[in-house]
Structure 1
Amino acid sequence: MDTKSRRPPKHILLAFCAIIALFYLFRIRPRHQTFAQVNSIVDCCEATHDKPEGLGQAGHSWAGWQTVENMFIFGDSYSDTGFDVVGEQPSEEKPMGNSPFYWEHTGPRWPMLLTETYNDSAIKTYCFATSGASVDKTIDNNVVPPDFVEQVERIFIPSFVKDNSEESSWKPETSLFVVFFGINDNRLLEMMPGSRTSETQRRMLERYSDMLQTLYDNGARNIMIVNVPPMGRSPSGTNKISRFIATWNQALSEMAITTTRMLRGAKILEFDAFDFFNRGLDDPTVYQQTSHIKITDDRCAAYDEEWKRAVEIDAFDEDCGIALKDYFWWDALHPTPSVQDALAEQIAEYLRHGKVANTANATSVTHKSHRQSGHRFED
Structure 2
Amino acid sequence: MLLVNLLSTAVALASFGSAACIRDDPTIQATEPKYLFIFGDSYTRTNFDIKGTKPSSKNPLGNPAWPGLTSSGGKNWVAHTITDRLVSKYNNDTLTYNFAVGGATVDRAITGSSPKTTVTEQVKIWDDNLKSKPSYAKWTSSNAAVGVFIGINDIGSTYMKSNTDEILTKVVDKYFSLLEHLYNSGVRKFFLIKVPPTNRTPLMRNRGSATVKNVTEAVTFYNNYLDKKTIKWRGHHSDLKVKVVETHAAFNTALDNPTKYGSKDNKCTNSDGKTCLWKDSYHPGIQIQKLVGFQVKDALRDIGIW
Q: TM-score range by the shorter chain?
A: 0.7 to 0.9
In the alignment, does 2:228 pair up with 1:254? yes
Q: Name the CA shift for 1:218/1:271 in 2 (closer, same or farther; >3 Å).
A: same
| CA pair 165-351 structure 1, distance change in 2 beyond 3 A | closer
Which structure 2 segments of 5+ residues have no match?
Answer: 1-17, 19-30, 205-211
The question of 1:138 aligning with 2:103 is answered no
Rg comparison, structure with higher value: 1
Aligned counterpart, 2:280? 331
TM-score by length of 1: 0.63
Specify the SS of the correspondent of 1:168: coil
Q: Which amino acid aligns with 2:232?
A: T
1:228 and 1:144 map into 2 onto residues whose CA distance is: 18
User: Structure 1 residues 114 and 186 mapped into 2: Cα distance closer, same or farther (>3 Å)?
Assistant: farther
Q: Percent identity?
A: 27
Separation in structure 2 between the aligned mates of residue 221 and residue 116 of structure 1, nearest angstrom: 30
What letter matches 1:187 in structure 2? G
* SS of aligned partner of 1:269: strand
Q: Indicate whether 1:205 and 2:172 are aligned.
A: yes
Q: Work out which of the residue numbers 169, 183, 188 in structure 2 matches 1:221.
A: 188
Partners of 1:211 and 1:95 lie apart in 2 by: 25
Give the Å deviation of 1:337.
2.5
Structure 2 CA distance for aligned equivalents of residues 113 and 88 of structure 1: 25
Name the CA distance, whole Å, in 2 between partners of 1:82 and 1:225.
20
1:353/1:150 CA distance change after superposition, 3 Å: closer
Question: CA offset at residue 236 of structure 1?
Answer: 1.8
Alignment length (residue pairs): 261
Is the CA contact 2:243–2:302 (under 8 Å) kept in the aligned structure 1?
A: no
Distance 1:233 1:211, change over 3 A: same
The Cα RMSD (Å) is 2.9
Q: Give 1:175's aligned residue.
A: 144
Equivalent residue, structure 2, for 1:156: 126
Matched, 1:276 2:245: no
Q: Which protein is richer in helix relative to its size?
A: 1
Does the 8 Å CA contact 1:75/1:181 hold for their aligned counterparts? yes
Q: Does 1:81 align with 2:46?
A: yes
One-letter amino acid matched to 2:181 = T
Q: Which shows bigger deviation, 179-188 or 112-121? A: 112-121
Q: 1:54-101: CA deviations, max 9, x gaps?
A: xxxxxxxxxxx9997111110000001010010000001110001232
Q: Which runs of 5+ in 1 are unaligned?
A: 1-64, 307-312, 314-323, 355-379
Q: Counterpart amino acid of 2:101?
A: T
Q: Is the 8 A contact 2:261 2:287 kept in 1?
A: no
| Per-residue CA distance 1:333-358 (angstroms, 9 max, x = gap) | 1011332233222321344469xxxx
Return the match for 2:69 from 103, 119, 122.
Answer: 103
Cα 1:204–1:114 change in 2 (3 A) is farther
**Is 1:118 paired with 2:89?**
no
CA–CA separation in structure 2 for the residues paired with 1:109 and 1:212: 32
The match for 2:208 is: none
The answer (yes or no) to whether the contact 1:95–1:115 under 8 Å persists in 2 is no
Instruction: Return the alpha-carbon distance in structure 2 between the equivalents of residues 131 and 115 of structure 1.
Output: 25
Residues 1-379 of structure 1 aligned to structure 2 (within 5 Å): 69-100=34-65, 101-105=67-71, 108=76, 118=86, 120=90, 121-153=92-124, 155-162=125-132, 165-192=134-161, 194=162, 196-237=163-204, 238-284=212-258, 291-296=261-266, 298-300=267-269, 303=270, 306=271, 313=272, 325-352=274-301
8 Å contact from structure 2 (residues 245, 299) kept in 1: yes
